[in-house]
Amino acid sequence: MAVINSALEGIIVLDLSRVLAAPYCGMILADLGAEVIKIEVPGKGDDAREYPPFINGESGYFMSLNRNKKSLTLNLKHPRGKEVFKTLVKHADVVLENYRPGTMDKLGLGYGVLKEINPRLIYAAISGFGQSGPYASKPAYDLIIQAMGGVMSLTAHPGGLPTRVGSAIGDIAAGMFGAIGILAALRAREVTGKGQLVDVAMLDCQVALLENAIARYWATGKAPLPTGNRHPSITPFQAFPTKDYYVICAAGNDKLWEKFCQAIGKEELVHDPRFESNRLRTENIAELEPILFEVFRQKTTAEWIEIIETAGIPCGPINTVDKVVNDPQVRAREMVVEIDHPVAGKQLIHGVPVKLSDTPGRVRQPAPVLGQHTREVLQKYGLTAEEINLLAQEGVV
């Protein structure tokens, strides 16, 4: 039986992506052990290298999305650059890009061309709206997708302005679904021997994240409205104002509701006909909320968490980022790690969320500086030092 150190050991990914969605996808694959070669424009690189915050001149934004990768600079508009790329494709398992649909075809490097060079190639294209449909040629960023995908219409307090989710979930969801698609295609290749096109649209992924909002629309014929920090279908399942801040409580069934009422000293609510079932509690939230708010304002967040946790009810604080990175559970699970960047120095970054018992993913190296691995990669795949020098003189690398 073969032994490997990481799940994707031996998988070679040519990562042509920039900014967020596809770089996040490439980072997931790199964390799981793939050799991810980030191909960047000579002298400029990924657009994200220009995004703040900057640490010793290096973009913290870029570094948070491109760890465990190698950086190769290559001008894909130059004829020699195209030749070099095609040489790399012969050895690759995956090409990952997030250009607007049609861009790679214009360069003469689309899936139709590359699959002839390497029939086993998985070609993953992440775009705003996908490779087909009336919006296919439109550009997109996370904000556009959050708006068009419906999540902004749900993220607000009742009567408030539609609100962007603070994390770029339009991009991140596409990156995660992209990684799932690539892994599925790699599994299919084990059976068929052939690669395929993985087409991931940010808008598609955002629609997939709407989950029960679509069910609620279908059931009622009405577009769901924002509900603030409470769940639209489960009650109580929300934030409560305390003496000093807020606490989150989630009583997801009638048994927990009974325990919840006992814990907060409101046993009479258990048999109140307005609140006897989850359905009634949700329908009568306007009557229940003021009662609960008055109770919760009498103690601090810490006091309530101790009381409610002791009763066995899911609850927690609303942590700011400084608290998250110092949380003992987060630390115990190695979800923040320190890494030493050659220019920016020590960095605190998020860890790998998928915990594999035998072939764990890990943060092996920081994000690369622009072109850091150009010579290493090109020599590995057959070019001589003299050939690389000539490519550099011609502005190809």
CATH 3.40.50.10540 for domain 12-209+328-393: yes
- Residue among 300, 307, 312 nearest 250 (CA): 312
- Residue among 233, 238, 236, 237 nearest 213 (CA): 233
- Residue among 181, 198, 29, 202 nearest 115 (CA): 198
Burial grade of 299 (CB within 10 A; 0-12, 13-18, 19 or more): middle
Specify the pairing of strand 35-40 against strand 12-15. parallel
Reported as a single tens digit per residue, the pLDDT across 285-322 is 999 999 999 999 999 999 999 999 999 999 999 999 99
Active site residue 171: yes
Query: Average pLDDT, whole number, for the chain?
Result: 96
- What CATH architecture is 237-241+246-317? 2-Layer Sandwich (3.30)
pLDDT band of 3, cuts 50, 70, 90 = confident
- Residue among 303, 298, 331, 330 nearest 317 (CA): 303
Using the 8-state DSSP alphabet, how is residue 49 labeled? Answer: G
pLDDT band of 211, cuts 50, 70, 90 = confident
CA distances 176 to 18, 129, 157, 182, 187, Å, are 15, 16, 28, 10, 17
Reported as a single tens digit per residue, the pLDDT across 63-89 is 999 999 999 999 999 999 999 999 999
Tell me the pTM: 0.94
| Catalytically annotated residue among 46, 93, 142, 171 | 171
Q: In the chain, where are the structural domains located?
A: 12-209+328-393, 237-241+246-317
CA distance 171 to 184: 20
The two three-digit tokens of residue 283, written as one number: 């329908």
CA distances 3 to 6, 7, 159, 188, 362, Å, are 9, 10, 58, 21, 17
Reported as a single tens digit per residue, the pLDDT across 230-287 is 999 999 999 999 999 999 999 999 999 999 999 999 999 999 999 999 999 999 999 9
Residue 247: beta bridge partners?
A: 240, 317
N-term to C-term CA, the chain: 41
CA distances 273 to 88, 212, 288, Å, are 69, 27, 12
**Predicted pLDDT at 286:** 95
φ, ψ dihedrals at 26, nearest 5°: -60, -35
3-state secondary structure (DSSP) of residue 328: helix
Q: Are 161 and 232 in contact (CB under 8 A)?
A: no
